[in-house]
Structure 1
Amino acid sequence: MKKMGEIRKIPGGVTAAKGFKAASTAAGIKYKERPDMAMIYSEADCVSAGTFTTNLVQAAPVKWDKNQVYGGAAARAVVVNAGIANACTGKEGMEYCGRTAGACAAALDVPEDSVLVASTGVIGMQLPMDRIETGIYAMAPLLCDGEESGTKAAKAIMTTDTKHKEVAVEFELGGVTVKMGGMCKGSGMIHPNMCTMLSFVTTDAAISKELLQEALSADVQDTYNMISVDGDTSTNDTVLLLANGMAGNPVITGKNEDYAAFCQALNYINETLAKKMAGDGEGCTALFEVKIVGADTKEQAKVLAKSVITSSLTKAAIFGHDANWGRILCAMGYSGAQFDPERVDLYFESAAGSMQIIKDGVAVDYSEEQATVVLSQPEVTAVADVKMGTATATAWGCDLTFDYVKINADYRS
């Protein structure tokens, strides 16, 4: 038997947990000849939790899901479309959320208020409801709990993503094996808080709604809110967490050992999905990770890490495999966090090795050629030690390439 707290990665995504099924279809909403709708369904009622964009301009699905999650109704299904965001669509956009939920409720014989909806794509366009409704009725009989259906659903929600994103784990709660899985999409318009992303996490764990929401709200601070691709916070950011309790573990109602294990698994899922999005930023060639160590407080470390990860000049240097450490120190300096630049040590790390670039704010005698090799890997890390305390924080982003501009110059076409 696995030890308490041990997390084991398993194949799959949103269908890994007991009782969850998924389906997808090509509805022709915007994309041609590719799946662009997905559905997640639970055989049993779920408690739900959610976190949403902090952009004042919020898409209709965000408003709909807030009402469902915060209203307390049990959740049974999620309908997702790619291609059109249903954002800035006024009263009609909200009505379309209701029509989507109504069609799903009829197709699955579940209450309308148990249906969550999500959209991603172009802002300002109205959904083609005839195709949405046709897609829902096409998916209902295709719902399946196999790994393949979950993967197909993850692919169906992609927009400018170049790869689908999913992960699943199993762990122990009260002596019972519990599973948790998730899928997400996100490639551009990504910046805290949160990012242009949709993320759906499912688990068969039994846990109270209050603790489910608390666990999710806390975890997004160190995962989704620590990634950035381009500095733009989307109108549609949504993270939904559904728990149907079908694993049969003792219901988690307090912050005990089981709750800690649950949070640990949730963090693994969310961090993995967050890094997959950062590493698939529009046009990018590398995942860029920034670790701040030796900070005085966690908040100081977060501010410093985010400032570096969002620096366009730093991101361009990573694309050029150029160890231009001055850009990193500069980004730390304008972050607003207080530190002594003359005490900072900086390292670059990747699969090609680790090397120190500056010590106490001054460049060391390093090889530019070696630095280029280290920075030429698909995953690159910058570690900055500010020597003030023991707090740490990590942020994730990507390099800035020519292709980012190309992708976003004609996104609507």
Structure 2
Amino acid sequence: MDGNALTAAVPPAPLTLAEPPGAEPPAPLVPYAPGFQADPYPVLARLRESDAVASIPHPFLPDVPTWLVLRHAAVRALVTEGKVVKPVEEGEPPSLNSAPPDHTRLRALVQQGFSTGRIEGMRARVQRVADDLVDGFAARGEADLIAELTGPLPVAVTAEMLGVPEDEHGEVRRRTAGFLYGESPEGRDRSFAESWEYLTELVAAKRARPGADMTSALIAARDGQDRLSEDELLRMLLTLLVNGFATTIWFLASAVHALLAAPSQLDLLRERPDLLPGAVEEALRYEPVVSGVTWVAERDLIVDGVPIGQGDLLITSFQSANRDPRVFADPDRFDITRSPNPHLGFSHGIHRCLGAPLARLETRIVLATVLRRLPGLRLAGEPRWQPNKVVRGLEALPVTFIPQP
């Protein structure tokens, strides 16, 4: 995308708090600046109350002014009403980021793979993976849950859905590491090339010996009905592979951390396991891994009273919307009994997260498993957040518990 061609009507200016007499000048309140994701919520709260829509530099295109949409109602409306589209490179083949009708066609091909019945049928397998992983550290009384549970579990589940042989799961994780750690273009480009090479080989293997997996199903759609080009097929598989586990790794860790950081809620969930679904929904509200998504205005808009020009970039802040006090009482409190809970942790509208049912299943199983199998579970130190601009994820989640034979 040529960022210089996408300009906003008003250039961004430093966003600061009112300065009390005699005080040091405050640091600029610039979302997505270095260090922002270590504690983004106070910054977003101040901006949300003073500016329904703020003009900021784009996190990856600093010379391109961008509109940050902060309030729940406006964020939900934008992602639902089809007035904005995801930015794509000129000439880029159709993908799940495309606008309709390409998006509709492609999403329909994979939607059945994430049906409620199919996901529910994976419950036993996900539980076995979780138990096997916990078996590996339960006797020690300590663990890094990201390295030993929330990291490998989504990789195993997603790879199995795509028909990746079990002995190649580690290779898949190695090749996709650049999508997971940091936000360097070099790392992403390297992982793109290595993942594309692997998926090309996987498609060839599945053409020769198809199975009951999503890769084989998409190949059948490509070869039998000519509904996918070869490029579309590989891009679809790459999207499913990376999106299938990348954000889930960090969300699983964030959900466990949110519970451990709120002892009263942890105790309540132990007493009332029926609240587990609500705990997952509250974690999605309280700590969405994808802080926001970039869009392009398809036409001139008015968003919360602010004129937005056709072609302008917007970021819908799910972090801010999910803590909007106009919708959520006491929004900075983690409350597993919160109801209703109309969070936007999976976005909304046609681009709502395709893998939401699977992510919910994995999170419920992980939370239930650690509570059942790791008595006395507690944090072992302060959390360390990755130095990312957009994705808020823990670098490590060290915990201690009573060793289990």
TM-score interval w.r.t. the shorter chain? Answer: under 0.3
Please identify which structure carries the higher helix content.
2
Give the structure-1-normalised TM-score.
Answer: 0.24
Please identify which structure carries the higher strand content.
1
Give the structure-2-normalised TM-score.
Answer: 0.24
